[in-house]
Amino acid sequence: MKSLKKREIIKNIAIVFLVIMLILTFFSNTIMNRTLPEVSTQSVTSGPVTTQVRGDGVVEAEDPYNLIIDETRKVKSCPVRVGDHVEEGDIIYYLLGETSEELTTAKNELDSLKGDYELTILESGLTQAEVASVEAGVKNATGTILSTLESKDAEINSLKSQLEEKEKKHSEVEHQISVTDPSGSSTTVDYSAEEKAVEDAQTALDSAKSILNSLNEAKSQAVQIAKAKSDALANYNAEKDNFYGTDSKKGVKTLFDEAEADYETKKSDYANKYNDYQTKTTDYNNAKTAYQTAENEYNADQNDDAKKQAWIDAQAAMNKAETAMNSAKDAMDAALTAKDDAEKNYNTCKKNKEDAEAALNTAKTAMDEANALSANAPTDEQISNAQADVNAKQAALNQANTNLTNKKNSANSSNNQNNQNYQNLKKQEYDMSVEIGDLKSKIEKLEASRADYLSTEKTKMGLESKYQEILKKEKEIKDLEAKALGGEIKSPVTGEITSLAYSGGEKIEAGSTAAVIQIDGKGYKLSFPVNAKQAKAVKVGDPVSVENSWYYGDLNVNLVAIQPDKNNSRDGKLLVFSLSGESVNPGQNLTLSVGEKSSNYDLIVPNAAVHEDNSGHFVLIVDTKSTPFGSRYIAKRVDVTVLAQDDKVTAVDAELFGYEYVITNSSKYIENKDQVKLAD
């Protein structure tokens, strides 16, 4: 019994195992499909591709006339309003008073200048003839004045040299008189030779000390210059290492280059993320439109299961597209933050580089200036010889003092001086005193004459400057009177008033724009930036359409220029349009589309189907393989060449027959030869 029961259990287990294997075999396709990435496809077609560049900008007056007022005046009233059409000569402002503040101020300044000028004449001491010559423009050239002063200085210096020589001789005579005065002693001993020897020895010693001091100063200066050169070189090398860097530390230039490269990379990455977000937004909008269409069809016939399933599928596709769009936006925002951070780092590194470069140039200049310094450093032997010379001169002075002392100690009190000789010296001293007095008098007169001449010329120059200020102010008043506005401001052109800066009671400041007039016959312009690729897609004269054109009536727009974009000098361009029509006004914001060129192509795929990697552009098509358990779908890569593209489809050149299905969306990332399942 137990054996039979055991065999029964084994048989039941085998039956269950076979049933499970059979179920797995039949449902293997369904099980596997649940794990495969689900893809959406669209067939390759042929047809037209329309290229178009879109942008928006603000309408500006092409050549407005700015009515600039050169006087400060107060407005009495304004008879016109913004939008009024005025003819040339029509009154725009009525003004209070007849003269401007500038003219009144200039006249007051002229009166003040004239009063100051007349007071200067009275205080100058100049004659009427000299004043008349100043006003007539007759004056001595600066070179003539300097030449006259040099001539007077040369004469004064010559007399001073003679005076110095006379005073020196006078001192010698006075000294001789003092040592030969018979009234001082019965016997006078002449010590002049010994005293002269002491004086000469002292002079020689002072000269030797001066030479020694000069040599020591020269040596000290040479040491200082050498230190300055060393310090300047060290500072330059430090600034150079800071700028260019060392083996262990990057310089500010390298940091700037890295920051610049990083910023360009982040900016490019942001542009790619932005474009991807735009694509995902377009996909979402298309899915949303498909969902709304399916919903409308289902609502119209809710008993139709196919329409209900289509509605459910469209909702799922829309949700997936929305998720992809949100993910792309998050990636774009992250890329923008990274770009902004890189830009801040770039600007900081740029400022550091400029500061370091300036410091390097300053250090280089300081080093060059230090290297330009030079000094003749004396040798130790020269200084030693100079010190020995000082010692010798000191010994000579000591000996001369000894000789003088010895002579005074041994002198006899005898009178060796002749009275007649003393009287002759006294007469000689008197004659020299008279000559010295005459020379001093001549020098004083010449110096007074020089001072008077210089003072007179300075007074003339100052008077001429004040007179020229009066002439300049009189010309200014004539110019103001010639262009005075009077009591009103008139329009110098014919056109429409687009701006009025002032109203009644307000003050018009000189140099300000009182009104802006759009001259008749002058149009309006609008511009917006594009990248280089977009700029190549259009040309001057291409047709232009305006968004909501029905609202603007007779508005006419033309593309008139493609210019470099100053705000994006790397690859940016600026599309410039001319506008005309009664409905256009400055300040309007318009959205324009340009370059609507349509061409037919054999192979057209949705934009979402086109991908790009290092090998170029490609699409993934669905390749079908038959198996015993049903059809298998494989993603197959096909390289393509992009011929044209608009905001929805792309024309390509590839090894395709035109009936393939390209993958436009996938629930997971897929690659070439991956197995996929088709969306219902």
The helix or strand, by DSSP H or E, that contains position 77, with its residue range, turns out to be strand 73-77
Rounded to two decimals, the pTM is 0.30
Q: Which of 6, 14, 38 is nearest to 674 (CA)?
A: 38
Provide, rounded to the nearest whole percent, the portion of the chain with pLDDT above 90: 15
Q: For 500-506, what is the mean pLDDT?
A: 79
Q: How far apart are CA 618 and CA 344, in angstroms?
A: 37
Q: Write a three-state SS string for 627-666.
A: ECCEEEEEEEEEEEEEEEECCCEEEEEECCCCCCEEEEEE
Q: For the residues of 142-169, what is the DSSP string, one character each?
A: HHHHHHHHHHHHHHHHHHHHHHHHHHHH
Q: Which of 279-288, 513-522, 640-649, 651-660 has the highest mean pLDDT?
A: 279-288
**Tens digits of residue pLDDT in 445-485:** 888 888 887 787 788 787 778 778 888 878 877 767 655 55
State residue 188's pLDDT score: 58
Contact status, residue 220 vs residue 314, Cβ threshold 8 Å? no
| Percentage of the residues of the chain whose pLDDT score is greater than 70 | 90
In sequence order, the 6+-apart residues with CB closer than 8 A to the CB of 130 are 456, 460
Spatial distance between the Cα atoms of 423 and 406, rounded to a whole number of angstroms: 30
Pairing of strands 488-490, 91-95: antiparallel
- Number of Cβ within a 10 Å radius of residue 534: 19
Residue 550 has a pLDDT of 72
Question: In the predicted model, what is the mean pLDDT of the chain?
Answer: 81
> Cα–chain-centroid distance for residue 441?
67
User: What are the backbone angles phi and psi of residue 416, rounded to the nearest 5°?
Assistant: -100, 10
Identify whether the C-beta of residue 648 lies closer than 8 Å to the C-beta of residue 282: yes
pLDDT in tens, 102-132: 677 777 888 888 788 778 777 777 777 777 7
Choose between 404 and 312: higher pLDDT: 312
Q: Annotate 324-383 with three-state secondary structure.
A: HHHHHHHHHHHHHHHHHHHHHHHHHHHHHHHHHHHHHHHHHHHHHHHHHCCCCCCCHHHH
| Tokens describing residue 231 | 């310090």
CA distances in angstroms from 196 to 328, 416, 609, listed in the order given: 108, 19, 118
- In whole angstroms, give the CA distance from residue 266 to residue 284: 26
Rounded Cα–Cα distance for residues 452 and 445 (Å): 10
Sign of the C-alpha dihedral computed for residues 269, 272, 278 and 282 taken in this order = negative
At residue 415, the pLDDT reads 46
What is the crossing angle of helices 305-372 and 252-300, to 10°?
170
pLDDT at 101: 65
Summarize the confidence of residues 75-84 as an average pLDDT. Answer: 81
Question: What's the rounded Cα separation, in Å, for the pair 623 and 44?
Answer: 14
Which H helix or E strand runs over 23? helix 2-26
DSSP code of 584? -
C-alpha radius of gyration, the chain, whole number: 53
Q: Which long-range contacts (C-beta less than 8 Å, at least 24 apart) are formed by 369-372?
A: 369/232, 370/225, 370/228, 370/229, 370/231, 370/232, 370/233, 371/229, 371/232
Check residue 326 and give its pLDDT: 93
User: What token pair was written down for 534?
Assistant: 């977009």
Q: Is the model more confident about 44 or about 419?
A: 44
Average pLDDT over residues 67-80: 78
What is the sign, positive or negative, of the torsion defined by CA atoms of 260, 263, 268, 269? positive
Whether residue 121 contacts residue 463, with contact meaning beta carbons closer than 8 Å, is answered with yes
- Exposed, middle or buried by CB within 10 Å (0-12, 13-18, 19+), for 630? exposed
Which segment of 371-380, 569-578, 637-646 scores lowest on mean pLDDT? 371-380
Range 23-46 average pLDDT: 74
Residue 279 has pLDDT above 90, yes or no: yes
Burial class (CB in 10 A: 0-12, 13-18, 19+), 501: middle
pLDDT digits (tens, 9 = 90+) for 224-271: 787 878 888 888 888 888 888 888 888 888 888 988 999 999 999 999
DSSP type of residue 99: S
Average pLDDT, integer, range 305-317: 90
Tokens describing residue 17: 């195992």
- 156-182 confidence digits (pLDDT tens): 888 888 888 888 888 887 887 777 666
**338 and 304 Cβ atoms separated by less than 8 Å:** no
- Give the model's confidence band at 416: pLDDT under 50 very low, under 70 low, under 90 confident, else very high: very low
CB atoms within 10 A of CB 623: 15
Phi-psi region of 110 (alpha: psi -120 to 50; beta: other; left: phi over 0): alpha
Give the sign of the dihedral formed by CA 356, CA 362, CA 368, CA 373: negative
Tokens of residue 583, six digits? 């409905």
